[in-house]
Structure 1
Amino acid sequence: MQREIRLGTEGFRGIIGREFTFANLHRLAEAYGRYLLERGGGRVVVGHDTRFQAQAFAQALAAHLGQMGLEAHLLPGPVPTPLLSFAVRQLEAAGGAMVTASHNPPEYLGLKFKDPSGGPIAPEEARRIEALVPEEARESQGPYRVSELRGAYLEALAQLVNLPALERLAQEHPGFTLFHDAMGGAGGGLLRRFFAHVGLPLRLVELRAEPHPLFYGVNPEPIPRNLAATLEALAPASPPSFAVVTDGDADRVGVVLAGGHYFNPHQALAVLAHHRFLQGRRGRVVKNFAVSWILDRLGARLGFEVQTTPIGFKWIKVEFLRGDVLIGGEESGGIGFPEHLPERDGLLAGLLL
C-alpha cells in the first residue's frame, strides 16, 4: 500500500526517491487533474526549478495531465515560480503546478499548486486535491505543449520598473554594480536577460548563476548562513552597489549591502513599502505575524493601514484579491505586488530595490 499523501501550505514536498517518487507524482497528477476537471477543465501550466530530476518530473506531470484531457502547457525550464504564476494568468489557465521545493535542502523536491489567479491554492482547495489522491496511478503519456513565456514575463516586469530611474543610476554612478546571486536556482540569468531586454547598460555581476542541483553546497534560502560567497564578494564593494539574492525558485529575495552587510527581509519590506508610498501609491500593507513592528511604525508615521495575517502567502493573496493593497510580504523575504501577481516575486522585488 502506498503512503498517504498529505498536502502542506501550498502543495506537497518530500525527499527525492523516498516520498517524492514518480509513483507519487502520478498519484498527485491524477488528483490535481480530477480536481481541475471537476471545475470544468481547461488549460494547466507546469514548470520546474533546477533540482535533481525536476525536468523529468515536470514532463511526466504535463504528460499525465494531457492524457486526462486537459490542455497542458510545459514551460521550458528551469523557470522561477513567479514566471509559472505569470503564465497561469497569461494563458488564462485553470491552474498551475510548479515542480520545486523552494528554499528547502537539495534532497527535497515538491509540487506547488496555483489557482487561476496565479496565487497559492486555498486550504480548502488543498484538502479537496488531497481527498482525490488515489491509492496508485499508472503512468500516462498524453500530449502537452511547450510554451516559452520568458519574454512576456520580462516585458511585464519592465512595465512595473522605473526604467528612466535605472538609466539615471547608470549615468550618474558609472561605478555602480548590481550583484545577483541566484544560489544555483531558477532565477539564474534572468536579471541579465532583463537588462538586455530593456537595453539598460547597468553593470551586473552574477554569482552562482549556473543551475546547480546541490545549490553549491548550501540550502537555497537567502539567509546569512547560506550567503558566505555573497558576503565575501560584497566586502570590497562600495555604495551604492548591492546584491540581490534569490532562493531556489526565485520567489524570495535577500539583500547584501556594499561592505558585505546583510540587509534583513523586515528592512527590505519596509524600504519597498516606503518607496511605493512616496511614488504616490496607496493602500493597506499586508504582512504575516512574523514580520517585525517596523512596518507598523512606518504605517503610523506615514498614515497607511498595516494588516497582519497568519503565516503563509495564501492569506496575503486573499487580501490582494480583495483590493486596496500597497504591498504584501513575509519575514522570509517573500514580497508581492498586487498590480503584478497575487504571489511573491523575488526578481521584481530586487529590481524595485
Structure 2
Amino acid sequence: MTKIKFGTDGWRAIIAQEYTVDNVKRVAAGTALWMMKNGEAQVVIGHDTRFGGELFASTAARVIGAHGLKVKMAKGFVSTPMVSLGVVKTGSGLGVVITASHNPPTYSGYKLKSKLGGPMIPAQIAEVEAEIPDVYTGSFPTLEEMEANGLLEYVDLEGMYISHVEANFDLETIRSAKFKMAYDAMYGAGQNAMRKILPDAVLLHCDDNPSFRGQAPEPIHRNLGELSELIKNNPEIGLGLANDGDADRIGMYDAAGNFVDSHHILLLLLLYMHKYKKQSGKVVVTFSVTEKMQEMADLFGLESEVTKIGFKYIAEIMAKEEVIAGGEESGGLAVAGHIPERDGIWIGLMILEFMAKTGKSLDELIQEVYSLVGPFAFDRDDLHLAEEQKQAIIKTCEERPYEAFGPYKVEKLEALDGFKFTFGGGRWVMVRPSGTEPVLRVYAQAPDAAEVRALLDAAHQTLLG
C-alpha cells in the first residue's frame, strides 16, 4: 500500500509505478467520502493531454458515481482553468483534474478544485487525504450505467471557457493589433482554445502528443528554444506566449525573442490593472517572487502580502479578500475579475490587451515598469541531486552557516518557505527543494543577467563544494 500525499499542487506520481488505476480509485474514493461529509453532491472532472488521461478521469468518475454523486465530465482534454471555471459555472461543489501540470511526461496527477474556482485550501486537502482508503473494494459502475441513472453528464468546458473570455476581453482590439502573436502549446491542453480565440496566431506544438516529445511541458526558456528562434526569425511577431501541460502557467517572449519571466509579467499585470484600468486591491505573491512587486504596491498605495510557495496559499487569500494581482515565480498568475485560479491563457490575453490598447511594445511597457521600480534580472537553476546530498544542503541552510556565496556577503536570511539569502542592492539567492520533483531549486536576482549568472555560479560552488 502506497501512502498518498498531496504536494504543492496535487498528488503526482510516475505512471504505472505509483500512479495506477488502483491508486486513482483510492484517491477518488477519498474525494467522494469528503464530498459526502461536506454536503457536496456534484463534481466536475477533466483531464489534460497526458498519457492515460481519459482512462484515469473515467476511473475517478466511476468511483465517485458509485457513491451516488453526480459527475459533470469534459469530453476530450481541457485545461485546469477550464475545470475550475466549470465548477463555478455549473454550481458544483468540487473539481478534479487529471494532470501533472508541468512535470515530465512519465508523471500524471490529481488536482482538487474548490467550489470558488481555485485550488482547494490546504486544510481541506488534508481532510481529503485522511479519507483515502488503503484499498478500494467498492462497486464500479460503467459510464453508460452512470449516464442512464442520471449520475453522469458530459459538458463542454472549453466552450464555456471561450464564452467567458469573449465576455471579458476586447478581442476585436487584440485581433486587430499591428503585430502577430506566436503561441507554443507545448502539446498541452491550451492548444484548441487558443486556436479558436486567436485564429491568426502563429502556432507551435499545437497537436496532441501525450509524450510531449519527451520533454517536460514547463514554459521556461530552456524548454522553449523553438519559440524563441521563431520570433527572432519573424520580425512581424511582437509577442510569444507558451503554456504548460494543463495551461495554468505562462511563459512569455518579447519581439526580439528574449524570455520574459513571471516577475516581469506580474509587474506588468499590476501596472495595467491599477494605473491603466484604475482597479485596486491587495497584491499577493509567493516567497520566491521579486520584492519589486511589494515596491510597486507601495508606490500605488496598495497592501501586499508574501505567502509560502504554492498557488493554493494565494487562492486562500483571494477567497476572502479583494486581490488585484497575485502569483508565483513558476508562472502561475492570477488577477481580479476572474476565478481565483492561475490561468496561462487568461494572463496571456491580459498582456496582449495591454499592448493592443496602449499601442506599446512589450519592451516599452517593461521600461515603464523599470521607471517605477528599477531594472532587474532573474533566473533559476534546477539541480538534480541524490536525496542524501539534497537533504544535507537543506540541513546546512537550516543551521545557517552560509555567510557568503563567493564574493557576495549575506546580509539577511529569510526562511518562510525555503532559504532566501539577501546581499543588498536588489541581489539575492534562494534555495528550496521542489514540492513535486526530486530537484533542488536555486533562484537568483540581480541588477542584470550577467550578475544573475555569476550569483548562481557562486551559489553552486558554495552549496556543492
The TM-score range, normalised by the shorter chain, is: over 0.9
Q: Specify the alignment match of 2:18 in structure 1.
A: 19
Q: Output the CA distance in 1 between the equivalents of 2:290 and 2:299.
A: 16
Q: Specify the alignment match of 2:279 in structure 1.
A: 281
Q: Specify the alignment match of 2:255 in structure 1.
A: 258
Residue-by-residue CA offset, 1:60-91 (whole Å, 9 max, x unaligned): 11121112100011111210000000010111
Q: Specify the alignment match of 1:236 in structure 2.
A: 233
Structure 1 stretch displaced more, 67-76 or 133-142: 133-142
Q: Output the CA distance in 1 between the equivalents of 2:269 and 2:336.
A: 13
Question: Which of the residues 186, 191, 196 maps onto 1:193?
Answer: 196
Structure 1 stretch displaced more, 146-155 or 136-145: 136-145
Q: Specify the alignment match of 1:40 in structure 2.
A: 39
- Judged with a 3 Å threshold, the aligned counterparts in structure 2 of structure 1 residues 305 and 237 are, in CA distance, closer, same or farther, namely farther
8 A contact 2:239–2:252 mirrored in 1: yes
Residue-by-residue CA offset, 1:110-152 (whole Å, 9 max, x unaligned): 1001111121112221111111111211361251221113222
Q: Output the CA distance in 2 between the equivalents of 1:31 and 1:217.
A: 32
8 A contact 1:245–1:254 mirrored in 2: yes
- Opposite residue 263 of structure 1, the aligned amino acid is V
How do 1:150-161 and structure 2 match up within 5 A? 150-161=158-169
Q: Specify the alignment match of 1:58 in structure 2.
A: 57
Structure 1 stretch displaced more, 289-298 or 244-253: 289-298
SS in structure 1 at match of 2:306: strand
8 A contact 1:238–1:258 mirrored in 2: yes
Q: Specify the alignment match of 2:80 in structure 1.
A: 81
Q: Specify the alignment match of 2:337 in structure 1.
A: 339
How do 1:195-214 and structure 2 match up within 5 A? 195=198, 203-214=200-211
Q: Which runs of 5+ in 2 are unaligned?
A: 147-151, 352-465
Residue-by-residue CA offset, 1:264-298 (whole Å, 9 max, x unaligned): 11001111110111211111111111101221222
Question: Residue 177 in 1 paired to residue 180 in 2?
Answer: yes
Superposed CA RMSD: 1.5
- Opposite residue 346 of structure 1, the aligned amino acid is G
SS in structure 1 at match of 2:242: strand
Shift of the alpha carbon at 1:13?
Answer: 0.8
8 A contact 1:10–1:126 mirrored in 2: no
Shift of the alpha carbon at 1:167?
Answer: 4.8
Shift of the alpha carbon at 1:344?
Answer: 0.5
Question: Residue 163 in 1 paired to residue 171 in 2?
Answer: yes
8 A contact 1:284–1:306 mirrored in 2: yes
Question: Which of the residues 290, 293, 304 maps onto 2:291?
Answer: 293
- Judged with a 3 Å threshold, the aligned counterparts in structure 2 of structure 1 residues 283 and 245 are, in CA distance, closer, same or farther, namely same
Structure 1 stretch displaced more, 43-52 or 128-137: 128-137
Q: Specify the alignment match of 1:351 in structure 2.
A: 349
8 A contact 1:242–1:256 mirrored in 2: yes
- Opposite residue 287 of structure 1, the aligned amino acid is V
- Opposite residue 231 of structure 1, the aligned amino acid is S
8 A contact 2:112–2:120 mirrored in 1: yes
8 A contact 1:183–1:216 mirrored in 2: no
Aligned length: 341
Q: Output the CA distance in 1 between the equivalents of 2:321 and 2:3.
A: 38
Q: Specify the alignment match of 2:140 in structure 1.
A: 140
Q: Output the CA distance in 2 between the equivalents of 1:334 and 1:64.
A: 30
8 A contact 1:208–1:216 mirrored in 2: no
SS in structure 2 at match of 1:134: coil
Shift of the alpha carbon at 1:4?
Answer: 1.6
- Opposite residue 160 of structure 1, the aligned amino acid is N
Q: Specify the alignment match of 2:245 in structure 1.
A: 248
Shift of the alpha carbon at 1:168?
Answer: 4.9
Shift of the alpha carbon at 1:239?
Answer: 6.3
Shift of the alpha carbon at 1:319?
Answer: 1.7
Q: Specify the alignment match of 1:199 in structure 2.
A: none
Structure 1 stretch displaced more, 254-263 or 244-253: 254-263
Q: Output the CA distance in 2 between the equivalents of 1:283 and 1:81.
A: 25
Question: Residue 307 in 1 paired to residue 310 in 2?
Answer: no
8 A contact 1:9–1:123 mirrored in 2: no
SS in structure 2 at match of 1:159: helix
